[in-house]
Amino acid sequence: MTAFEQAVITLKNNGYKTTGKRQKILELLYNQDKYMTAKEVQNSLKPLFPGISPDTIYRNLNTFVDLSVVEETELNGEKLFRFSCELHGHHHHHFICTECGKTIGLEDCPIDMFSSQLPGCQVTAHRFELFGLCETCSIAS
Ligand SMILES: [Zn+2]
Ligand SMILES: [Zn+2]
Ligand SMILES: [Zn+2]
């Protein structure tokens, strides 16, 4: 089963019908494999759904985030969304290009480095992201 099929099943199990629009938004994020703004999602879907409203995009993206099939982050006050890597079944972090949204998976998780500084504590969640310019955008700038 692909991570995309898994995401569709997660939606179904939570009572969400995979309508045309919802499915296409998810499919887009799955195929792009990078962080996108709601605006970019809207623009990419325009040829398919010319009248799709930012509201519809946002509502669906938030649903996806709630169901953990999409990850979100924030950059300069703007939300970015990508298909969840956790569905690919392995925990990792990202380098995110601030120019094109390209994400590069990082093999190492830094959380173990901090456990010695937190005796007796239990870390239950963590975020770690690196932002910058990818190779292509570095050359272009
Ligand atoms: Zn990833
Ligand atoms: Zn880039
Ligand atoms: Zn980690």
The closest ligand to the CA of 105 turns out to be 1
Average pLDDT score, the chain: 92
The closest ligand to the CA of 91 turns out to be 3
Report the distance separating Cα 73 and Cα 45, nearest Å.
21
What is the Å distance from ligand 3's center to 90 Cα?
10
Q: Is the pLDDT of residue 140 over 80?
A: yes
The mean pLDDT value for 38-47 works out to 96
The closest ligand to the CA of 95 turns out to be 1
What is the Å distance from ligand 1's center to 86 Cα?
8
Segment 122-131, tens digit of pLDDT: 888 888 999 9
Q: For position 62, what pLDDT does the model report? A: 96
Cα atoms in the 13 Å half-sphere on the side-chain side of 141: 11
What is the Å distance from ligand 3's center to 118 Cα?
16
Q: Is the pLDDT of residue 23 over 90?
A: yes
Q: Is the pLDDT of residue 133 over 80?
A: yes
Q: For position 88, what pLDDT does the model report? A: 66
- Considering only residues 11 and 115, tell me which one the structure prediction assigns the higher pLDDT: 11
Segment 68-125, tens digit of pLDDT: 999 999 988 999 999 998 766 678 899 999 999 999 999 888 888 888 899 999 888 8
The closest ligand to the CA of 133 turns out to be 2
Q: What's this model's pTM, rounded to 2 decimal places? A: 0.84
Q: SS3 sequence, 4-69?
A: HHHHHHHHHHCCCCCCHHHHHHHHHHHHHCECECHHHHHHHHCCCCCCCCHHHHHHHHHHHHHCCC
Kindly state the DSSP code that residue 87 receives in the 8-state scheme. G
What is the Å distance from ligand 3's center to 51 Cα?
39
By the 8 A CB rule, do 128 and 110 touch? yes
